[in-house]
Amino acid sequence: GSDPAAGATGVDTTGAVTLRYDQALYPGDLGGITLTSKEGTPVTGLNPSLSGSSLSITHPPLAPATTYTLALPEGAVRNAGLVAAAPLELSFTTTLGTPAVTGTTPAQEATGASTIAPIAIDFSHAVSLTDTAAYRLTGPGGADVPLTGVATDSTLSLSHEGLSAGAAYQLSLTAGSLVNAAGYVNTAYALSFTTHLAAPQVMGTTPEEDATGIAPGAPIDVRWSQPVEITDSLGIGLYYEGNSA
């Protein structure tokens, strides 16, 4: 027999693979034992050991939701009479594991984030909200922003009624708010971002609107509500009596 069994699903990503034989085992070509993912990626760091009639193979943590095949070459182990055991292959699939955050919109520590778009958190696989789901968004002065959460496939979308421009926000997602098909829940997660600035507003000009008696050659100043840069100098024009200067 074996643990996990051949074809098993939901196998823990840590631990060991154990094979049980009908007689005491002695080492043969233990170095020829391999563990390979379905995609062909070998697992390094295998550590086979013998105890009576059992062969135990410990391994580093495996990838979640991945099929692996353990292969023993002929003669990997032998009996007391030095008769080699037949080759063996055993395949199993690991559990989904804990849902892991793979990305967010806006990105972590982003600036220039939208003030109207929902906040999205992407996970490594499909999730759904639990009855105890809890998330919180705070903005300027620590004020709470009401959120509505919807989990679709592998994305948690958090909508709101609009954020302040040029403001810093912090989102916290409580552990256990989301669960996957295997019953694993998320760990706590925090996201920080800053929204984009509001459109610059003209605060004043020199000369003032409709001013008269301005000296020829006097500079024209336009004061804005925030620092600005010229992006299209060709779009700036000076006109007089219907003509451009």
Strand partners, 222: 205
pLDDT at 23 over 80: yes
Cα–Cα dist 14/60, whole Å? 7
pLDDT value of residue 242: 58
Q: What is the pTM of this model?
A: 0.68
Q: Helices in the chain by DSSP H: which ranges?
A: none
Res. 15: pLDDT tops 90? no
Looking up tokens 């592998």, which residue turns up?
Answer: 154
**Confidence label for 199 from pLDDT (cuts 50, 70 and 90):** confident
Tokens representing 90 are: 């055993």
CA distance 105 to 119: 6
Cis omega (within 30 of 0) on the bond before 73? no
Write the DSSP string, 103-145: EEESPTTEEEE-SSSPEEEEESS--EE-TT--EEEE-GGG-EE
Q: Return the pLDDT at 72.
A: 97
pLDDT at 124 over 80: yes
- Between 214 and 226, the higher pLDDT residue: 214
pLDDT in tens, 73-117: 999 999 999 899 999 999 999 998 899 999 999 999 999 999 999
| CA 212 – CA 223 distance, rounded (Å) | 19
DSSP structure class, residue 111? E
